[in-house]
Chains A and B, each alone.
Chain A
Amino acid sequence: MKNNILFFLCLCLTFIGTAQTTGSILIKNGTVITITNGTLTETDVLIKDGKIKSIGKDLSAGEDTKTVDATGLFVMPGIIDAHSHLALDVVNEASSPSTAEVWVGDALNPLDVGLYRALAGGVTVSHAMHGSANAIGGQCETIKHRYGTFDPEELRMDGAPRTIKFALGENPMRVHGEGRGILPRTRMGIEQVFRAEFSKGQRYMEAWDTYNKTKGKVSTATAPKYDRRLETMADILKGDIIIHCHSYRADEILMLMNVLKDFGVDRITYQHVNEGFKVAPELAEFGASASVFADWWAYKFEVYYSTAYNAAILTKNGVITSINSDSRELIRHLYHEAAKTQRYGGLSDEEALSLITINPAKQLGIDKRVGSIEEGKEGDIAIFNAHPLSIYAIPQMTIVDGLVYFDINEDADDMRVDINPEETEPMFMMESNSHDHANDACMEGVSEQLHKH
């Protein structure tokens, strides 16, 4: 207990007042997997003030710069998870088929120990997503895993593009059609939710455009009523928000592409997209990307006709593909999930590692900043004791913006930030096994409600 309190105090001292600070570090003599520029042996990476300053041999830094000997180790970009619900107090605003106005960024919880566990798996950036209860869910937040802070603001990856969660299929059908007796109860209904909300958003945008052109010139010009839900739809139409759509079946994937074509929207990543492999040519032609599970299937009916070869088929058909977790457990070994594409479809090392680095970065619109080891990019690094695609690889160190957030050699057992001094024994909680996530994590907070019906 005493140790906990001490540790807690140390954490406070370490992290408080270091708002979005960056660090400098020199990683010496590692095998550097750059992702975009090959693999460089016996190479150094110098991070200065949070940015990768140089990559090369025999680099040196000032005496006050922390140096890590990576001899015999593998250095790769920090892993990026394009689908997570970590660090969120709440996941679903399951009260309407469209809740485009809400934003998970209003419910960030920096105390989630899951962030540390993700760091211990080499993950430096995740996409904290709204759930899949609604056809149009809330807006999401791309976060950096700056664990140890009490300030939600420090988690945000400033400047990352806005994103929004859409959802197709069983989840919105169950919540609204079956659960509440309102549209959508079918995949036909789901299409109409999108068409209605985009149409309303379009008219809203036109009304404001008209007003903005005439205000001050026409005395009768009055501002339209402000509506944050429709404002969000208008922002999607303008291309300011990337859609991330929970989807499984091929037919519904095609449906949404048709809707988006009609409204001139082209920035979309399909999430889960278990049957993406069936419409890979259409996805590639549209320019849609896919963020998939390595091997989850058959936990619900709409993923029954899946294949673990999905990521390989999509990749080989030219679809930008990532492997995501959607799970507090899976996020800890995304490097292993990516390796499964070598068993199922024989992807190359570079293709497999792109699935958890540069590709999810592209899907989140942050690929100019992270996702590969390149000079000028942000200093997010994961270091392993073996090739990260090996089953025997163990993450050794994880660096965000040049600061070490996980070091296996200096790892305290209890890494909670929010320790209750009254609690004598931490509460034991049996985490659910696979059979319980018949509802995906996307349905957090909703499934309980549904069981009551």
Chain B
Amino acid sequence: MKYNILYILLFCCFSYQGIAQTAKANSGSFALNNATIVTVTKGTIKNGSLLIENGKITAVGKDISIPDGVTTIDCSGKSIYPGMIDSGTQLGMAEVNAVSLTVDHNEVGDIKPHMQALTAINPNNVAIPVTRVNGVTTVLSVPTGGLIPGTAALINLVGYTPDQMYAGFKGVAINFPSANKRGRWDRRSEEDRKKEEEKKLKSLNDIWEQANLYAKIDSASQSNKSLRPEYNPQMEAMLPVVQGKTPVLVEVNQEKNILSAIKWIQKNKINAVLTGVAEGWRVAKEIAASKIPVITGPILSLPTRASDRYDTRYTNAGILHKAGVKVAIRTDDSENVRNLPFNAGFAAAYGMGKEAALKAVTINPAEIFGVADQLGSLEVGKSANLIVTDGDPFETKTQISHLFINGWQVAIDSRHIQLYHEFLDRSPGLRK
């Protein structure tokens, strides 16, 4: 307690003098009182309290007893929401995307399931504080490029080592083969694009065949070491995939490709999640029937075809949700993952509704990633990943006053905020 007061005093001094020093994260026991608590899974509690002890939520409700020695935070007029989860980003894996030597998400090669996002996540990446002060407390960081870009990792946005940040889910990313143009600059002929698609699909099927074979040899070699195959990092990484232990994140966007991907997933009995799914609205029924969950976004993006209605990307998540698909929303960004609440807000406005959109950035991704016992809602026993706001977390003007990640009280501070304090009323001003 004494330390807390000291710390608060120190923090005030520092921030008022505009000294660029990020305040330390604070642990302990906290009672957040008089708040509107939006639990997501168990309704909304008006004028309630939420207790945080040892990093966990230990009580939520109206008449909970607050133990002595707990730091109390008055949240009158404020709301508590679970921290938001971005289900697809490159956060922490790139400092400046145009400066290639600061970019760690796109390793050389085509088949690289052994490339681990968690290895390349820089806990001190400047975008991390910028992201979390907007209420995004957990993100999936996904490698990019090639047929199998690597293994993605779910991280909490607090900590100084990747292990401290790791939030309990890994998945292998796949770019499902497609004959699409990759952009305006893509000058390949239609024929060449189709050939490449077929080649890639064959390559993908070959890998699965090899991995299954590798798994058989591997299990045989458990009892007979002489059968052990030669070291093969790709196959080692594919082993838990074909054993169904590590889920596969299948990036696929075009209507036709989505249907092929579903068939391919079913044929190979893969534990899969569809990602991207820009044209999901065209085949929402088929996706729902497959029962494969979807991570879609960015919502704030252009239609995939010139002939499309202007708002197809805004409405996509809502159409999928209404068809019965479990939907999570992503930004697919690195430095502007902070726009996740606004992506969810657009989805909400364009047909998804606020409640479903909130689930798409909280409990749905937690369930998809198998971490719903820890994240995604305000329930007793879960990690204290939460935000205190002065209103709807999707509304653009809403301010976040308190931030807890994995039980740590994290200061509302980032380089963007520090620069604001330094330069709003610059000193020296014009005078020499």
Q: B308 near A: Cβ within 8 Å?
A: yes
A426 and B342 contact, CB distance less than 8 A: no
- Our pick among A295, A328, A429 for the contact of B180 (Cβ within 8 Å) is A429
A434: chain B residues within 8 A (beta carbon):
97, 298, 332-336
A433 and B98 contact, CB distance less than 8 A: no
With A282-B430, A305-B419, A416-B307 given, is the CB distance from A298 to B95 under 8 Å?
Answer: yes
B304 and A430 contact, CB distance less than 8 A: yes
Within 8 A of B (CB), among A272-298: 277-278, 280-282, 285, 295-298
B309: chain A residues within 8 A (beta carbon):
411, 413-415
Give the CA-CA distance A428 to B94 in the complex, in Å. Answer: 29
B97 and A299 contact, CB distance less than 8 A: yes
Give the CA-CA distance A306 to B419 in the complex, in Å. Answer: 8
A340 and B396 contact, CB distance less than 8 A: yes
Closest to B339 in A: A295
Q: B416 near A: Cβ within 8 Å?
A: yes
Q: B326 to chain A: closest CB distance in Å?
A: 23
A413 and B424 contact, CB distance less than 8 A: no
With A295-B338, A392-B349, A429-B304 given, is the CB distance from A316 to B397 under 8 Å?
Answer: no
Give the CA-CA distance A414 to B399 in the complex, in Å. Answer: 39
- Our pick among B183, B306, B339 for the contact of A436 (Cβ within 8 Å) is B183
B301 and A431 contact, CB distance less than 8 A: yes
- Our pick among B144, B253, B399, B424 for the contact of A430 (Cβ within 8 Å) is B253
Closest to A434 in B: B333
Give the CA-CA distance A419 to B95 in the complex, in Å. Answer: 42
Closest to A436 in B: B183
**Residues of A in contact with B, size category:** 35 or more
Give the CA-CA distance A436 to B183 in the complex, in Å. Answer: 10
Q: Is the interface of B mostly helix, strand, loop or mixed?
A: loop
Q: A71 to chain B: closest CB distance in Å?
A: 20
A429 and B342 contact, CB distance less than 8 A: no
- Our pick among A113, A344, A430 for the contact of B181 (Cβ within 8 Å) is A430
Give the CA-CA distance A344 to B419 in the complex, in Å. Answer: 12
Q: A432 to chain B: closest CB distance in Å?
A: 5
B97 and A427 contact, CB distance less than 8 A: no
A278 and B423 contact, CB distance less than 8 A: yes
- Our pick among A329, A342, A391 for the contact of B301 (Cβ within 8 Å) is A329
B95: chain A residues within 8 A (beta carbon):
298, 304
B305 and A426 contact, CB distance less than 8 A: yes
Q: A308 near B: Cβ within 8 Å?
A: yes
A-B contact count (CB 8 A): 181
With A301-B96, A430-B181 given, is the CB distance from A343 to B396 under 8 Å?
Answer: yes
B349: chain A residues within 8 A (beta carbon):
391-394
Report which residue of A113, A333, A339, A431 has the largest number of chain B beta carbons within 10 angstroms of its beta carbon: A431
Closest to A418 in B: B306
Within 8 A of B (CB), among A291-349: 295-301, 304-309, 312-313, 316, 328-329, 332-333, 336, 339-340, 342-345
Question: Residue-by-residue, is A395-436 near B (CB-CB < 8 Å gives 1, otherwise 0)?
Answer: 000000000000000010111100100000011111111111
Give the CA-CA distance A299 to B335 in the complex, in Å. Answer: 8
Closest to A386 in B: B349
Question: Residue-by-residue, is B312-334 near A (CB-CB < 8 Å gives 1, otherwise 0)?
Answer: 00000000000000000000111
Q: A390 near B: Cβ within 8 Å?
A: yes
Q: A16 near B: Cβ within 8 Å?
A: no
Give the CA-CA distance A83 to B315 in the complex, in Å. Answer: 27
Give the CA-CA distance A278 to B419 in the complex, in Å. Answer: 9
B127 and A298 contact, CB distance less than 8 A: yes
Give the CA-CA distance A414 to B185 in the complex, in Å. Answer: 24
Give the CA-CA distance A300 to B94 in the complex, in Å. Answer: 11
B98: chain A residues within 8 A (beta carbon):
299-301, 438-439
A328: chain B residues within 8 A (beta carbon):
302
A427 and B181 contact, CB distance less than 8 A: yes
Q: B362 near A: Cβ within 8 Å?
A: no
Q: A448 near B: Cβ within 8 Å?
A: yes
Q: B348 near A: Cβ within 8 Å?
A: yes
Give the CA-CA distance A304 to B98 in the complex, in Å. Answer: 11
Q: A377 to chain B: closest CB distance in Å?
A: 27
Report which residue of A328, A329, A393 has the largest number of chain B beta carbons within 10 angstroms of its beta carbon: A329
- Our pick among B144, B279, B308, B416 for the contact of A309 (Cβ within 8 Å) is B416
Give the CA-CA distance A4 to B308 in the complex, in Å. Answer: 12
Within 8 A of A (CB), among B369-404: 392, 394-399
A307 and B419 contact, CB distance less than 8 A: yes
Q: A384 to chain B: closest CB distance in Å?
A: 11
Q: B14 near A: Cβ within 8 Å?
A: no
B424: chain A residues within 8 A (beta carbon):
309, 312-313, 316
Give the CA-CA distance A332 to B335 in the complex, in Å. Answer: 21
B345: chain A residues within 8 A (beta carbon):
391-392
A and B contact pairs by CB, cutoff 8 A, 28 listed? A4-B307, A113-B306, A278-B426, A285-B430, A298-B95, A299-B96, A306-B416, A309-B424, A329-B300, A340-B396, A343-B396, A343-B399, A389-B396, A391-B396, A392-B349, A415-B309, A428-B181, A428-B279, A429-B306, A430-B180, A430-B181, A430-B304, A431-B183, A431-B302, A434-B298, A434-B336, A439-B98, A447-B185
6 further interface pairs, Cβ-Cβ under 8 Å (given A285-B430, A297-B416, A411-B310): A278-B426, A297-B335, A297-B336, A430-B304, A433-B332, A435-B334
Tell me the B residues contacting A by CB distance below 8 Å.
90, 94-99, 126-127, 134, 144, 180-185, 253-254, 278-279, 298, 300-311, 332-336, 338-339, 342, 345-346, 348-350, 392, 394-399, 415-417, 419-420, 423-424, 426, 429-430
The 7 A-B pairs at the shortest CB distance, nearest first, are namely A391-B345, A438-B98, A342-B397, A339-B396, A309-B420, A300-B98, A298-B335
